[in-house]
Amino acid sequence: MSIAPNGTLIFTDTPKDETYVQFDVNGPPPKKEHVKLKHFPLLNAWDDYIWNASITYGVPFELIKAICVAESGMNPSAESHVGAMGLMQLMPRTAEGLGVADPWDPEQNINGGTKYIKKMIDRFGDYEIALAAYNAGPGNVKKYGGIPPFEETELYVKRVLEVYSLFLMEQPKLPF
């Protein structure tokens, strides 16, 4: 991954020079501490919708954004092999149950996904378990009494919490 002079993110499997950073969306975020997430334009494209959902549902902005990064790489057109859609990768039945008419619409997708993670947080009382439920379903969390022993879910929870932590560190410090 590299950033073009106009701010566009460039993803490739054949890097052309040393400005490229290896980035795997299926693993933890890059370990380069000098990378400032605020300099990635796509990470900021949907901030207004994320802020509105954060305020509406009382879920931290940084957590919602971390879920979007982990789920879709901030791509509103992302579709998984099982049919999950959009920024927060809503399954069709889940989207319908949340009142999301168009899961491809970034605002509706973020609102629906935030409403759902809020339900999981309220139900399980813990971000780790709520994230596991978001990924593997609340039935699996209940069945296993916590994070299910699924590699995908274990990696997902770890990835979201690591990105969440990075976003928390990016916040400007108040002068008082």
Active site residues: 71
| Cβ-based neighbours of 108, under 8 Å, separated by 6 or more | 100, 101, 102
Q: Computed over its alpha carbons, how large is the radius of gyration of the chain?
A: 16
In terms of Cα–Cα distance, which of 27, 61, 31, 40 is closest to 159?
27
- H helices of 19-148, in order, are 41-44, 47-57, 61-72, 92-97, 106-124, 127-136, 138-144
In terms of Cα–Cα distance, which of 47, 40, 51, 135 is closest to 89?
135
